[in-house]
Chain A
Amino acid sequence: MTIRQLSIFMENKPGILNEMLAVLADNNINIASLTVADTDEYGIVRLLVSDPEMAQEKLREKQFTVRIHDVLSLEMDPQPGSMYKIMRQFAEAGISMEYVYAFSYGSKSIVVFRTNNREKAIEVIKENKFKSVTEEDLRY
Chain B
Amino acid sequence: MIWNKDIECMSRDNMRKLQSERLRELVQRVYNNVFFYRKRMDEAGVKPSHIKSIDDIVKLPFMYKQDLRDNYPFGLFAVPMKEIVRVHASSGTTGKPTTVGYTRNDLKIWKEAVARCFTMSGIGVEDTIQVAYGYGLFTGGLGVHYGAEEVGASVIPISGGNTRRQLQLMTDYNVTALACTPSYALHLADAMAESGIDLDKLKLKKGFFGAEPWTENMRLELERKWGIQAYDIYGLSEVMGPGVSNDCMFHSGLHVNEDHFFPEIIDPVTKEPLPEGEEGELVFTTLTKEGIPMIRYNTRDLSMLNYEKCECGRTLVRMKKITGRSDDMLIIRGVNLFPSQIEHVLLELCETSAHYMLYVDRQNNLDTLELQVEMDETKLTDTIKDLQNLSKRIQHALNSAIGLSVKVTLVEPKSIPRSEGKAIRVVDRRK
Please, which residues of chain A bring their CB within 8 A of the CB of B380?
7, 9, 44, 65-67
A41 to B409, CA, bound (A): 7
Note all chain B residues with C-beta closer than 8 A to A71: 382
Residue of B nearest to A40 (CB): B409
Within 8 A of A (CB), among B397-414: 409-414
Q: B-facing mask of A56-76, CB < 8 A → 1, else 0?
A: 000000011111010100000
Contact of A11 among B377, B385, B415 (CB under 8 A): B415
Do A42 and B382 touch (CB < 8 A)? no
Chain A: interface size category: 20 to 34
State whether B383 touches A37 (Cβ < 8 A). yes
Residues of A within 8 A of B384 (CB): 37-39, 43-44
Interface of A, secondary structure class, is strand
Residues of B within 8 A of A41 (CB): 409-410
Q: Which residues of B contact A114 (CB under 8 A)?
A: 382-383
Residues on B with C-beta less than 8 A from A10 are: 412
Query: In the assembly, what is the distance between CA of A64 and CA of B387, in Å?
Result: 17
Cβ of A118 to closest chain B Cβ, rounded Å: 13
CB pair A11–B411 under 8 Å, yes or no, is: yes
Decide: A99 near B377, CB < 8 A? Known: A10-B412, A11-B412, A63-B412.
no
Asked if A99 and B375 make an inter-chain contact with CB atoms under 8 angstroms apart, the answer reads: no
Indicate if A127 sits at the interface (CB-CB under 8 A): no
User: Would you call A98 an interface residue if the criterion is a C-beta within 8 Å of the partner chain's C-beta atoms?
Assistant: yes
Q: Would you give the shortest CB distance from A33 to chain B, in whole angstroms? A: 13
Q: Report whether B415 and A98 are in contact in the complex, using a CB–CB cutoff of 8 Å.
A: no
Within the complex, what minimum Cβ distance (angstroms) separates A112 from chain B? 11
- When A and B form their complex, what is the total count of cross-chain residue pairs whose Cβ atoms lie within 8 Å? 58
Closest to B379 in A: A67
B381 within 8 A of A: yes
Assess the B412–A44 pair: CB atoms within 8 A. no
Contact A65 B382 (CB under 8 A): no
Residues of B within 8 A of A99 (CB): 382-383
Tell me which residues across on chain B come within 8 A of A42, comparing CB atoms.
387, 409-411
Could you mark each residue 369-389 of chain B with 1 if its beta carbon is under 8 Å from any beta carbon of chain A, else 0? Answer: 000000101101111110110
A71 to B381, CA, bound (A): 12
Task: Give the most central of A37, A65, A114: most B CB within 10 Å.
Answer: A65
CA distance A6 to B107 in the complex (A): 63
User: Does B383 lie within 8 Å of A65, measured CB to CB?
Assistant: no
With the chains together, A64 CA to B375 CA distance in Å?
11
Evaluate contact between B413 and A65: CB separation under 8 angstroms.
Answer: yes
Q: Within the complex, what minimum Cβ distance (angstroms) separates A80 from chain B?
A: 29
CA distance A119 to B9 in the complex (A): 83
Least Cβ–Cβ distance between B406 and chain A, in angstroms: 14
Distance in angstroms between the alpha carbons of A44 and B382 in the assembled complex: 7
B382 near A5 (CB under 8 angstroms)? yes
Verify A44–B383 contact, CB threshold 8 A. yes
| Chain A nearest Cβ from B363, distance in angstroms | 16
Chain A 1-41, CB within 8 Å of chain B: the 1/0 string? 00001010111000000000000000000000000011101
Q: Which residues of A are in contact with B by a Cβ distance under 8 Å?
A: 5, 7, 9-11, 37-39, 41-44, 46, 63-67, 69, 71, 98-99, 114
Q: Chain B residues in contact with chain A, CB under 8 A?
A: 375, 377-378, 380-385, 387-388, 409-415
Q: Can you add 15 more A-B contacts, CB < 8 Å, to A46-B382, A67-B382?
A: A7-B380, A9-B375, A9-B380, A9-B387, A10-B412, A11-B415, A42-B409, A43-B384, A44-B387, A63-B413, A63-B414, A65-B377, A65-B412, A66-B377, A69-B381
Sample of 16 A–B contacts (CB below 8 Å): A9-B380, A9-B387, A11-B411, A37-B384, A41-B410, A42-B409, A42-B410, A44-B382, A63-B412, A63-B414, A65-B375, A67-B381, A69-B381, A98-B385, A99-B382, A114-B382
